[in-house]
Structure 1
């Protein structure tokens, strides 16, 4: 399989692991998009199509183990800002997604995004990897109910008497032990075991509040089969979305997608070591092309922008090194065009275990940081800490870039600033203002 040392069995197991860590998007994405007026069932179908198309294309064309799916954050911007805030119809917002993808594709063909990657300082590349790790661990702890909202302190510890928290902690411990003992398929075993352990919770505690954690209760069990709903296909208003007033929406879609994708590719490559001879992510140009085409596809089939998923780290940790990992995950999405109710069987506390543990593995690049040099260490810290605190990879990167540039200028090291980074900073400020 290419020139990477791997085995088909390992790649398939890695693909299954990435799918189990990512499949929640099939329910979460339609839940957010339906608030814009989209039919929920149609949004499920569109989400599955994008996940399958993007991931399989990533595997076949770019030959990388990255999963593609509608981006979290991008779907919220689509619904709550573009549609509910600015008054676009969801058809016009889909058109904006399409044109953002076209812009994305043009930037890829002109190799603009390649230049952006080259402009990212090595210290910030390490910070992006670690920041993504902190972010996905935070998401995992939240999804499991271990970290909860707190009016006084924003976040706090969940109840350790809660059966969900206890099940999550037991599954987390068992999975960590399996990983420490280097058991093949440890993530899959941990997810499946936690699913089995969680089933009695839903059967014995028939509490509707458990639905929030994906626990398969008697209350929310809704059968097995459902027909796909293709009513959102080609509903994008391509002409209505290019009005002058809507151009900022297209810019934000394109900018966010750009930095989400680049940060994911750079971060996962730094954490896994899958880099070319120049130290850049392998097959970067092809991966970015896949991301751009998937965004165009997303607008046409009826969902917010598709992007590379940080949960791909789960499969990479399991040994996924080639496109077969992404292809496997992409194929696994397809049956859920018809069997989406089955998603309720695997609770979020099970997939959260993989997110938490993979986040810990992504801290390794921090050993390469020169912590004694303030103009390197401070931007690294801002990049890392702001990703989970603002719940945005893009925001963390922007403040990392801005801090890095300003510190280098004021300490007399302007020669270390790539000219492209100055352009990125200007666009970042525009993004924050919009």
Structure 2
């Protein structure tokens, strides 16, 4: 009995650690999706609902200590590519998230995901994760006003005399030190510190508007308690989102979610040793099924796709081995349904810090690339660099597929090209032509 209590206590503490590592999404996800014209308070509610639902279901059904929440990268694709780039309404984009979840669910149930996994080269999976990381960091630097538009060079360094940029750099440095010292909840602590540092700006010194950027980032206090804003629930456009022109958006949502989740499960299994008898991640099919169901749920409640979080490794390192860890983390999200006004005091420079650092975490897969093999390295480079330079995750992915296939064909390595990859390339060409 004593050992059981000790194990449960360890799992709960692990769940708290995972929650602290992923808590930043409550702030960062609304900051990104609100740019697509969605109400900030409603996105907070949707984000919390998805994080709680996905994590609790992961613990109950898949019995894995893995947190599920709206994914970084997926929210950037939703806002900057689907809505701002392709012109979808956010309602249609939510519909695309829903149908991507349905597609992901079908692939998981029918085990077609296994064939897709085999078709996509491992190197391109690494490149996609890293490219999204660069894109997220670029967005973070923009939101902080550190990187600004320039007519001559397209981009340039913002004014270092701006008090907001100075505060951003101090906050980024402090948070980076906390992360480097492996302090639990380092990112959220860095956000809090930066928010405190930003409080005097626009009140006692400086201007609360970024020079040459025009973004008001003054810290505002609007109370502690508020009822949840459910205005985004069931606002998705079921029919409008399945137009022919929008099918590539659904494909990218499903594809990115699938490989993001799969790579997370594989990575966590390798790090923790939680594998089945065949050496695969434990309860992989159930985990992917929950991930797919959470994506469907995300579209229904009003946010971008939910996915497994690599930050779950924090809880696993603290001894989390069972679903109790995920359930604990999921339950800890729920109180913030009623304390969302506290998030209004967080300025954009604070959430920008999380974007920059989370983007840096996503660069790790590039270390696995053999840069001495050109037909591997060039597609990886194009995938990674084109995402931020074209401001499109889709463009980076498509040119990665196309360049990989062309180089393999013309270097006498056509046996390395899976037939399914050929089909994906044809779809990519059709999308680019349209």
Q: TM-score range by the shorter chain?
A: 0.7 to 0.9
How far 1:237 sits from its partner (Å)? 6.1
Range with bigger deviation, 324-333 or 100-109: 324-333
How far 1:116 sits from its partner (Å)? 1.4
Give me the whole-angstrom Cα distance separating, in 1, the residues matched to 2:400 and 2:261.
Answer: 17
Q: Say whether the 8 Å CA contact 2:20–2:184 is kept in structure 1.
A: no
String of CA shifts for 1:267-297, please: whole Å, max 9, x gaps. Answer: 5567765586888776553343233323332
Give me the whole-angstrom Cα distance separating, in 2, the residues matched to 1:374 and 1:111.
Answer: 33
2:225 is matched with 225
Give me the whole-angstrom Cα distance separating, in 1, the residues matched to 2:419 and 2:344.
Answer: 50
How far 1:216 sits from its partner (Å)? 4.8
Range with bigger deviation, 44-53 or 411-420: 44-53
String of CA shifts for 1:143-200, please: whole Å, max 9, x gaps. Answer: 3222222233222212211222222222222333334444444434333322322222
Normalised to the residue count of structure 1, the TM-score between the two structures is 0.78
How far 1:381 sits from its partner (Å)? 0.7
How far 1:352 sits from its partner (Å)? 3.1
1:377 is matched with 377
String of CA shifts for 1:231-269, please: whole Å, max 9, x gaps. Answer: 55445565x5588xx2443x2342021122134235556
CA gap 1:326/1:193 in 2 versus in 1, 3 angstroms: farther
Normalised to the residue count of structure 2, the TM-score between the two structures is 0.78
Unmatched 5+ stretches in structure 2? none
Range with bigger deviation, 112-121 or 322-331: 322-331
Give me the whole-angstrom Cα distance separating, in 2, the residues matched to 1:206 and 1:325.
Answer: 45
Q: Say whether the 8 Å CA contact 1:317–1:358 is kept in structure 2.
A: no
String of CA shifts for 1:110-166, please: whole Å, max 9, x gaps. Answer: 222232122222222332333233233223322322222223322221221122222
Give me the whole-angstrom Cα distance separating, in 2, the residues matched to 1:81 and 1:176.
Answer: 32
CA gap 1:166/1:305 in 2 versus in 1, 3 angstroms: closer
Unmatched 5+ stretches in structure 1? none
1:29 is matched with 33
How far 1:100 sits from its partner (Å)? 4.1
1:308 is matched with 307
Q: Say whether the 8 Å CA contact 1:67–1:329 is kept in structure 2.
A: no
Q: What pairs up with 1:79-228 in 2 under 5 angstroms?
A: 79=83, 85=87, 90=91, 97-201=97-201, 203-205=203-205, 207=207, 209=209, 215-217=217-219, 220-228=220-228
How far 1:304 sits from its partner (Å)? 5.0
2:70 is matched with 68
Q: Does 2:252 match 1:256?
A: yes
How well do the aligned residues superpose, as a CA RMSD in angstroms? Answer: 3.9
Give me the whole-angstrom Cα distance separating, in 2, the residues matched to 1:49 and 1:255.
Answer: 24
Other structure's SS at 2:53 match: helix
Give me the whole-angstrom Cα distance separating, in 1, the residues matched to 2:337 and 2:108.
Answer: 31
Q: Say whether the 8 Å CA contact 1:266–1:280 is kept in structure 2.
A: no
Give me the whole-angstrom Cα distance separating, in 1, the residues matched to 2:249 and 2:432.
Answer: 13
String of CA shifts for 1:4-51, please: whole Å, max 9, x gaps. Answer: xx86535423322322145232354245244xxxx7765654454334
1:12 is matched with 16
How far 1:52 sits from its partner (Å)? 3.2
